[in-house]
Amino acid sequence: MEGTDPVNKKLTAALSGGAVLVAALTGCSSSGGGDKGPDPKLVAWAKTVCDPLPAQQAKISGAFDALAKVAKDGPPKDVQKTDSQAFQDLADGFKARATTLSGAGAPPGVDDGAGKQQDAVKKLTALSAAYVDLKKRVDGLDTKDQTKFASGLGDLSDRMKTVAAQYDGVITSLQNLEKGDVNAAVTKQSGCTKASASPSPAKS
């Protein structure tokens, strides 16, 4: 087992260290909107975006927790199985988020709302695809050869640098979408409030 555990810990650190915060996913920050409150149409849009969030966030957080736990020890087959499932859950979670935002459409009454919404959907979809790719890569690792397995995890960790950059792009895009009245609207939604109260992805 020597050589595998440190590499897998490095992989998990790359994954969980750059995890998207609930606030970035939802716009559930503490800053408020205007005194008049957000437009009712925007509040309705926010409800569409926020209602599915707790389940999506639970899947994403659960995946990061699984990656953190398997990094501690375990035979290659167990590491592969857990990592594979976690990558699939992350792919599904971010794809669901993209689908929700796509279905909600542009936030009404927001300057360049359509452009901001479409950019967020595009980046979330790309992030989901990146996790699908990671799943394929980990599924292809040779668990019978310890040296090859450790080397494969090292390559996977290097690949995560690209995924981390995509993560940053998602955060920036969502924060851009969440500004002003959009933020005021989503903070009124119980789905966003519940997600904000849920545990954050484990840090390595």
pLDDT tens track, the chain, 204 positions: 445 555 555 555 444 433 333 444 544 444 444 456 678 999 999 999 999 999 998 998 899 888 888 765 568 899 999 999 999 999 999 999 999 999 999 999 999 999 999 999 999 999 999 999 999 999 999 999 888 888 888 888 888 888 988 988 998 998 899 888 998 888 888 887 766 544 444 333
- Which residues span the domain enclosing 180? 4-12+39-197
Residue 91 in domain: yes
Residue 30 in domain: no
| The residue to which tokens 């936030």 are assigned | 107
Residue 204 in domain: no
Counted domains in the chain: 1
Residue 192 in domain: yes
Residue 34 in domain: no
Angle between helices 76-104 and 4-17 (to 10 degrees): 10
Model's pTM, two decimal places? Answer: 0.81
